[in-house]
Amino acid sequence: MRPSTRLAWIARPDILVALVLSAALAIVAVGCDDREEAAAARETMLTARIDSLHEQARLSESLRDSLRAVIANLEASVSHELSLPDLEFLKKRGLGNPVVELFDDLAKHPEVFPANVPSKPWVYRPDRSRTVVLSRNWMFTVISDGHYEREALLKYVIEGPGLIRWECVRQE
């Protein structure tokens, strides 16, 4: 009995090997196509993510610049009721920008406020936006520890360049 011609290729090992290799190559080729598609999709996704991060960075920079402008406006908003003679007096005593320099010096000396006693774990600090330089010797400020606020009337004396003596006259 003769083997069927349809199954004749099974008897020939070279044809069988060629058929198996062809099938394997077809599977690998399909896998490669899938990997290439997956790689292309991942690249597209990563590109979109990078674009999104760049946009977020631009927005963050814009927000940072806006916040800097707000802070600059707040710093400039330390008000004063100084007369021109008082302003000139303070400048002659070595303060280039008396209002800002007085506040900056006061901020370095939280010990001026009686509420800042060593046994308390919090510190009251002056609020720049609610500080008023009243005259060549007087300042009003609102101080806060982050939860509570107090008002303080301060007397100051400029003793020399960079030397300001502070006294809290009243605090409520």
Contact 126, 143 (CB under 8 A): yes
Strand arrangement, sheet containing 163-171: 79-80, 125-133, 138-144, 149-160, 163-171
**What was the pLDDT predicted at 155?**
95
| DSSP 8-state symbol, 2 | P
Q: Quick one: 79 exposed, middle or buried, by C-beta within 10 A (0-12, 13-18, 19+)? A: middle
- Are residues 48 and 121 both part of a single domain? no
Question: Strand pairing partners for 140?
Answer: 132, 153
Structure tokens at 164: 């300001």
pTM score: 0.52
Give tens-digit pLDDT for 148-158: 888 999 999 99
**What was the pLDDT predicted at 13?**
65
- Are residues 102 and 68 both part of a single domain? no
- Domain with 23, as residue range(s), is 5-75
- Are residues 52 and 112 both part of a single domain? no
Q: Is 2 left (phi over 0), alpha (psi -120 to 50) or beta?
A: beta
- Are residues 63 and 51 both part of a single domain? yes
- Are residues 28 and 52 both part of a single domain? yes
Give tens-digit pLDDT for 88-123: 999 999 888 888 899 999 988 888 887 665 556 567
Domain boundary among 75, 101, 117: 75
- Report the chain's C-alpha Rg in angstroms: 39
Contact 151, 171 (CB under 8 A): yes
The total number of structural domains in the chain stands at 2
Low-confidence ranges of the chain (pLDDT < 50): 1
Structure tokens at 131: 């500080």
- Are residues 162 and 84 both part of a single domain? yes
